[in-house]
Structure 1
Amino acid sequence: MPFSTADPVAVQPARSQSAPTPLAALALAALVSLLSLLVMLPAPALAETPRSVSVTDTDTTGHVDPEILESRLADVDFRRQVDLAVLVLDITDYGLEESQDTALNDAVLAHAKDAAPELLAPDGDHWADGTVIIALDPENRFVGTYAGEDVKLDEDGFEAVQEAMRDDAADGDWEGSLQAGVEEYADLLDRPWWQHPATLVVGLVALGGAAVTALSLVGLRRAARRRVDESLPRLDDVLSKRRLTDAAARTLPTESVYAQAALADHETYREKIEEATQLRTQLPTPQERRWAWGLKGPERTLARDFEQVVTYLDDIDDDIIGTNDLLHRLGDWHAAWERELAPLQDSIDSIDSALEDGEDVSPEEAAAAADLREMGGDVAQEMQTLTSQLEADQIDPDSALRRLDTLTTELSAAVAALQRLRISHLAADDEEAEVMRDASWDADLEHEDQGYRSVRGRRHALDAAASGSPDGQGTFWHLSPLLWYRTWHDEADTDLEAHRNPSSSSGSTSGYSASSGGFSGAGSSSRF
């Protein structure tokens, strides 16, 4: 509702010409409150440079210059005094293997016991109070962070320090990596609660929740009203064509298996007409609709259901009429025939991209792909011939549709054979083969979204439902087999790669080996 922005006391800032809704004004007020709170928060504690800094590079190759690095790290500001120790070492010097997840933890502890006892607490089971240790193994690609009990971070904090080191370490910038780790540790140690990212998130959620909710509700309200406003005239158009749709269904040739699919569509069409009519009675007219209509969940659900049923009706009545035109070669039957050709044509057009595998192809796959390319050329020629025969009345529509089904079956069989060869070539064992076969489900889901409006597809779905088999005949079958194969190929390769290389290998590793005598110092390491 519009309202005045005039204020007799204070001069108001410039505003957009369209006045904000009350909900939007609340959202803006919440955001201003959040910014004000952040401005008024107390300043951080005074900075403290490290009480001591030591850089030890046990590798004779000299990955870092200790003197220069010590000078740079001495200027890093902590929130309390700490003793900073930086270690660059090679775990293999301590008899450890790169494959051991705790190798750097054990190497740092061994170094402290052998050469730097000042890093250990008097009890020998923890790091010394006030001590922060940043460690790096350039050769075996480890980074680590360790600390005394009074200056330790939580597990997430240790991981954050290692994450800060990782990019520079991966680039071979060892000094940059170590400095980044020290600076991140200094930033996290004794960080005020109000500087913690989680606190900021909570504040944003709490103070911005009203804004998000308000704006979301306004957007959802508008979407619900738009769905109804766009669907009402579409339903009127469907109802105006109902006699034509019913007449088309009545005159379908009953001996045609494709007509049977269209008749089944008509039964559903009649049910959806009743559903749409009932839903419309629950909707207020645009003139009677109050401003808040669409804010409530049930109202939005009603709008969405109404839109879905009207969309179905708007498509299926054209399909019923088009099928009748095609089977009788009346009216715009060419458009209906093109819809039947489209899935196969898409397969032909995608042959090159679907069969492009680079060097990772077995001789058997290459031969099968060559056969498929040749078959694609034959299918394209056959489709042209069928179109010419239909136009010259040399073949009846039902026979032409059956021939398209045969071509689809032949292409599907060739694709299924290629899929088996692909699995046999790439899968190292039965488990990997199962992973690749399971990718077929994802490919099915994505491929069905192509949305082909083909009576052949609907006829095949009826056969599948009658037989209890997903493909109707117990064999692989898709309207556009090569499009399906391209999708499956990508899904299978991705799933196989994820199966072979789980993404959990770079996580931090806490703890020490049994040979460490039950050492309980805080810290962890990870790989880069």
Structure 2
Amino acid sequence: MSNLMRGLVGGVASLGVVGTGVGLYAAQAPEHAASQVVVDDTAEILHEPTLLEGIEDIRFHAPTDVAVFTHRGGEEALTDDRALNDAVLAHARESRTEWLSADEQKWADDLYIFAVDPEGRLVGTYFGENRAVNEDAQLDIQEETKDDLGDGRWTEGAIRGVEEAADVMNAPFMRSDGGIGLTVMGSLATVAGAGTWLGVGLHRARRSRKARAEADERMASVVRDYETTELHARLIPEESRYGGLMLGRYDEYRQGFRELTDLGNEARSIRERDYDKASSLERLTAYRDKARELDHLDDVIADTAALLNRDRAWPDAWQRQVAPVREDLEAVGPLLESELDDDVRGLPEAQELREYSSRALARLDQLRGELESRAISPDDALDELRSTRDELSGHLDRLAGVVAQELDDESERTLMQDAMTKERRRRRREPTILSASNPMWTWYAVSSFLNGYSRGTSEVEQSRSSSSGGSTSGYSGGGSFSGAGSSSRF
């Protein structure tokens, strides 16, 4: 049933009360695209094209300038709840004076700022006076982003932060919580059911459209590359250990291509007015996920053929296999030098991790030379990459095991252990030969260690201060600045 029909049926069911409310709700839907979008990604964590594309589809109740700011707050931000607030204000005063009002005491009118500190685990929302919302609404916006941000999906979290703010800034009464609540009370349970029904339908339809658009784009790429992927698969040597594994994945690829074709046909048969149905969202999401999987897998099959046959493209293919391993190893230095507390950096396990990362980075350079001179086979080189990841995981596991023991209080040790274990268990996927040929293989990434440590440290600090970890307002270094906005931990 379309969203329009949902509204009509709801109106009849509630004897006109919900019909009036739904009509006003729909008529007052946001219709303005962002007036301008500014991205100051000083932390270098966003994929700007995806971010801009996502914001382009968002509609506001009034013309709004959108700013997205990222900042690395370092160790201090782990204990200073207002660190991100101060960082946003400092950035505005130094580089973005147009974000400030004429007297520089508030944020400029028509402005919304979404900010993230990946090191301090802080997310902030800031508003021009004519776009301001109350603190509960600010915290609600921030809460909606925390699943994405907690998993390191920074771009997706930023898009969600803008999208959620657009829904509430300058929202007419009938689209506010109060308006919806009044409508619900007006016709008791029937009205509540109809209002919820419509809201769920609108949300599903929006997610369905996004899933369909991405799936269509990725499917077009898969179809375009299908014959080339088949050729690459024919070139993969069966006698190779990784070649044999990837040929097995190629069989899955061909079966997946047929599934993707069926899902694409099914998606095209779903009428847009039915996008609000749970079944439609489920099928369109399955279509998108399958298209994502195959779009990554055909690239890996191409890299496998190039590397195992040492054709002209093998150096680039090898670089794509090495890049995520090198990135993890290179992250060890900053982790131990600036992102962990002094008492943790001095642990023997930390020193062992540092020494291992240095040796492993040097070995990666040697591997490239040995491949060029044919002193090592591609299979053996890939085995070394996997061993490197496994050994790095072991060192991180040992360090994680002693981090919590450095805390004196048992409840604090439990908080730290739980936070680090939760991050350790998150599955990671990469478009690499190692990951694709062994889908069940897992490893402990430095980013997962840091996320767990940061989350655990934040929870320990909140426990010590008996704070709920909710919204924090104000600017500790901001003098008389009184702009609307707040931040919270994720």
User: How does the TM-score come out when normalised to structure 2?
Assistant: 0.51
The separation in 1 between residues aligned to 2:345 and 2:296, in whole angstroms, is 46
Q: RCO greater where, 1 or 2, for CA within 8 Å and sep 6 or more? A: 2
- Describe the SS at the equivalent of 2:236: coil
Equivalences for residues 158-237 of structure 1 within 5 A:
202-203=181-182, 205=184, 217-218=201-202, 220-221=204-205, 223-232=207-216, 234-237=218-221
The separation in 1 between residues aligned to 2:231 and 2:405, in whole angstroms, is 53
Q: Is residue 262–residue 323 contact of structure 1 (8 Å, CA) maintained in 2?
A: yes
Deviation at 1:309? 1.1
- Describe the SS at the equivalent of 2:223: helix
Q: Does the C-alpha gap of structure 1 residues 452 and 226 become closer, same or farther in structure 2, counting only changes over 3 Å?
A: closer
Counterpart residue identity of residue 279, structure 1 = L
- Describe the SS at the equivalent of 2:273: coil
Q: Is residue 218–residue 295 contact of structure 2 (8 Å, CA) maintained in 1?
A: yes
Equivalences for residues 142-153 of structure 1 within 5 A:
none
Give 5+ residue unaligned stretches, structure 2: 12-17, 26-175, 469-490
Q: 1:272 is matched with which residue?
A: 256
Q: Does the C-alpha gap of structure 1 residues 423 and 342 become closer, same or farther in structure 2, counting only changes over 3 Å?
A: same
- 1:317 counterpart = 2:308: no
Q: 1:261 is matched with which residue?
A: 245
- Describe the SS at the equivalent of 1:348: helix
- Describe the SS at the equivalent of 1:253: coil
The separation in 1 between residues aligned to 2:297 and 2:226, in whole angstroms, is 11
**Residues 46-94 of structure 1: per-residue CA shift (max 9 Å, x gap):** xxxxxxxxxxxxxxxxxxxxxxxxxxxxxxxxxxxxxxxxxxxxxxxxx
Q: Does the C-alpha gap of structure 1 residues 423 and 252 become closer, same or farther in structure 2, counting only changes over 3 Å?
A: same
- Describe the SS at the equivalent of 2:311: coil
The separation in 1 between residues aligned to 2:294 and 2:227, in whole angstroms, is 14
Deviation at 1:347? 1.9
- 1:344 counterpart = 2:322: no
Q: Does the C-alpha gap of structure 1 residues 414 and 304 become closer, same or farther in structure 2, counting only changes over 3 Å?
A: closer
**Residues 228-271 of structure 1: per-residue CA shift (max 9 Å, x gap):** 35533532442343333234334323333322432332232233
Q: Does the C-alpha gap of structure 1 residues 214 and 357 become closer, same or farther in structure 2, counting only changes over 3 Å?
A: closer
Deviation at 1:435? 4.8
Q: 2:139 is matched with which residue?
A: none
> What is the aligned counterpart of 2:407 among 415, 418, 426?
426
Q: Is residue 235–residue 305 contact of structure 2 (8 Å, CA) maintained in 1?
A: yes
The separation in 1 between residues aligned to 2:358 and 2:272, in whole angstroms, is 60
Counterpart residue identity of residue 403, structure 2 = R
Q: How many residues align?
A: 302
Q: Which structure has the larger Rg over C-alpha atoms?
A: 1
- Describe the SS at the equivalent of 2:238: coil
Q: Is residue 303–residue 317 contact of structure 2 (8 Å, CA) maintained in 1?
A: yes
Deviation at 1:218? 5.0
Deviation at 1:490? 2.0
Counterpart residue identity of residue 423, structure 2 = A
- Describe the SS at the equivalent of 1:361: helix
**Residues 181-200 of structure 1: per-residue CA shift (max 9 Å, x gap):** xxxxxxxxxxxxxxxx9987
**Residues 158-214 of structure 1: per-residue CA shift (max 9 Å, x gap):** xxxxxxxxxxxxxxxxxxxxxxxxxxxxxxxxxxxxxxx998773155579778865
Equivalences for residues 481-500 of structure 1 within 5 A:
482-496=446-460
Deviation at 1:325? 1.3
The separation in 2 between residues aligned to 1:211 and 1:201, in whole angstroms, is 7
Q: 1:305 is matched with which residue?
A: 286
Deviation at 1:361? 0.8
- Describe the SS at the equivalent of 1:452: coil
**Residues 472-519 of structure 1: per-residue CA shift (max 9 Å, x gap):** xxxxx43x3x33321232233345556777669xxxxxxxxxxxxxxx
The separation in 2 between residues aligned to 1:216 and 1:260, in whole angstroms, is 47
Q: 1:361 is matched with which residue?
A: 343
My pick for the range that moved more, 229-238 or 296-305, is 229-238
- 1:455 counterpart = 2:433: yes
User: How does the TM-score come out when normalised to structure 1?
Assistant: 0.48
- 1:281 counterpart = 2:262: no
Greater share of helix: 2
Q: Is residue 423–residue 436 contact of structure 1 (8 Å, CA) maintained in 2?
A: yes
Counterpart residue identity of residue 202, structure 1 = G
The separation in 1 between residues aligned to 2:404 and 2:435, in whole angstroms, is 28
**Residues 445-481 of structure 1: per-residue CA shift (max 9 Å, x gap):** 55x35x422222344545x5xxxxxx6xxxxx43x3x
> What is the aligned counterpart of 1:408 among 384, 389, 400?
389
- Describe the SS at the equivalent of 1:330: coil
Q: Is residue 424–residue 449 contact of structure 2 (8 Å, CA) maintained in 1?
A: no
- 1:238 counterpart = 2:222: yes
The separation in 2 between residues aligned to 1:363 and 1:216, in whole angstroms, is 48
The separation in 2 between residues aligned to 1:363 and 1:291, in whole angstroms, is 55
Counterpart residue identity of residue 424, structure 2 = D
**Residues 12-37 of structure 1: per-residue CA shift (max 9 Å, x gap):** xxxxxxxxx99999999639989xxx
Q: 1:335 is matched with which residue?
A: 316
Q: Does the C-alpha gap of structure 1 residues 460 and 231 become closer, same or farther in structure 2, counting only changes over 3 Å?
A: closer
My pick for the range that moved more, 245-254 or 381-390, is 245-254
Q: Is residue 238–residue 313 contact of structure 1 (8 Å, CA) maintained in 2?
A: yes
Counterpart residue identity of residue 264, structure 1 = G
Counterpart residue identity of residue 345, structure 1 = R
Q: Does the C-alpha gap of structure 1 residues 245 and 361 become closer, same or farther in structure 2, counting only changes over 3 Å?
A: same
Deviation at 1:443? 0.8
- Describe the SS at the equivalent of 1:292: helix
The separation in 1 between residues aligned to 2:179 and 2:219, in whole angstroms, is 49
Q: Does the C-alpha gap of structure 1 residues 253 and 500 become closer, same or farther in structure 2, counting only changes over 3 Å?
A: farther
The separation in 1 between residues aligned to 2:460 and 2:358, in whole angstroms, is 32
Q: Is residue 443–residue 487 contact of structure 1 (8 Å, CA) maintained in 2?
A: yes
The separation in 1 between residues aligned to 2:418 and 2:396, in whole angstroms, is 16
The separation in 2 between residues aligned to 1:332 and 1:401, in whole angstroms, is 17
Q: Does the C-alpha gap of structure 1 residues 402 and 24 become closer, same or farther in structure 2, counting only changes over 3 Å?
A: same
Q: Is residue 218–residue 295 contact of structure 1 (8 Å, CA) maintained in 2?
A: yes
Q: 2:369 is matched with which residue?
A: 388
Percent identity over paired residues: 22
